[in-house]
Amino acid sequence: MPTVTPTVTPTVAEATPVSTTARPPDGLPSMISYLTRVLKTPTISRCWEDLAAQARAENWSHEEYLATVLQRQVAERESAGTTMRIRTAHFPAVKTLEEFNLDHLPSLRRDVLAHLATGTFIARAENVILLGPPGLGKTHLAIGLGVKAAHAGYSVLFDTANNWITRLATAHQAGQLEAELRKIRRYKLIIIDEVGYIPFDHDAANLFFQLIASRYEQASVLVTSNLPFGRWGETFSDDVVAAAMIDRLVHHAEVLTLTGDSYRTRQRRELLAKQNRAQRD
């Protein structure tokens, strides 16, 4: 009776070995260049050779070399992603929390701001409301928190309250309001700046309410306003709509009521004082 030799199916790794016969004629560097193009890892393509020389000089293990090469690639990819998220957020200007002078705003608790800067409120679909008179730096703080969110990997979209209403009204007129709200909901954080500066009519107030309601417990909203909640009825021309909106905003929110001198006014006073001293001298 003849002997039957069993058929063994090779694993993927066994079936596709990386052999010297598969290398391009000019050797290992060209092969690595080819593989990094296929894997779409341009940073590795640029840095592997220099890091290999450093690894030999410093006697790294294979694992240490591999980890360093991969860290370079991940760091550059994350940096590029952050740059793209900041660009698509449409901030009027890129401002950071580090640039903000906290000394002129003693009412702002530094521990609360540091906690918000971690972005954990976004992961929990919570909100942030900054209330206070003009000139305290609410927009700067909002942008700074938005930039921190972008660094943390969250998608952000910024606009003024008036422009948000214009965007929603245009979509509503085109019969695309629900689609527009779904599109906006894909952003993990939206920033609505300057609520209260321009009053809204009844239709605009309803559109604004739908924006807030569509994100309730789904995604985060950061709002800045020069008015306390008790006066939002003036802005939205309807105390009932304003109350319903506030209820949804503050249910899961950090509300920061800011007090102090106007930053711009103080800068103006300091400039005038400096000019007066110069004239006296």
Q: What is the pLDDT along the chain (281 residues), one digit of tens a residue?
A: 444 444 444 444 444 444 444 444 468 888 988 888 888 888 888 888 888 999 999 999 999 989 888 888 887 777 788 999 999 999 999 999 999 999 888 889 999 999 999 999 999 999 999 999 999 999 999 999 999 999 999 999 999 999 999 999 999 999 999 999 999 999 999 999 999 999 999 999 999 999 999 999 999 999 999 999 999 999 998 899 999 999 999 999 999 999 887 766 666 665 665 666 667 66
Written as one string, the DSSP assignment of 128-183 is EEEE--TTSSHHHHHHHHHHHHHHTT--EEEEEHHHHHHHHHHHHHTT-HHHHHHH
Query: What is the layout of strands, in order, in the sheet containing 220-225?
Result: 156-160, 189-195, 220-225, 127-131, 253-257
Residue 126 CA: distances (Å) to CA of 53, 105, 148, 216: 48, 24, 16, 9
Q: Are 189 and 219 in contact (CB under 8 A)?
A: yes
Question: pTM score, two decimals?
Answer: 0.73
Q: Which of 203, 252, 256 lies closest to 225 in space, CA to CA?
A: 256
DSSP state of 95: -
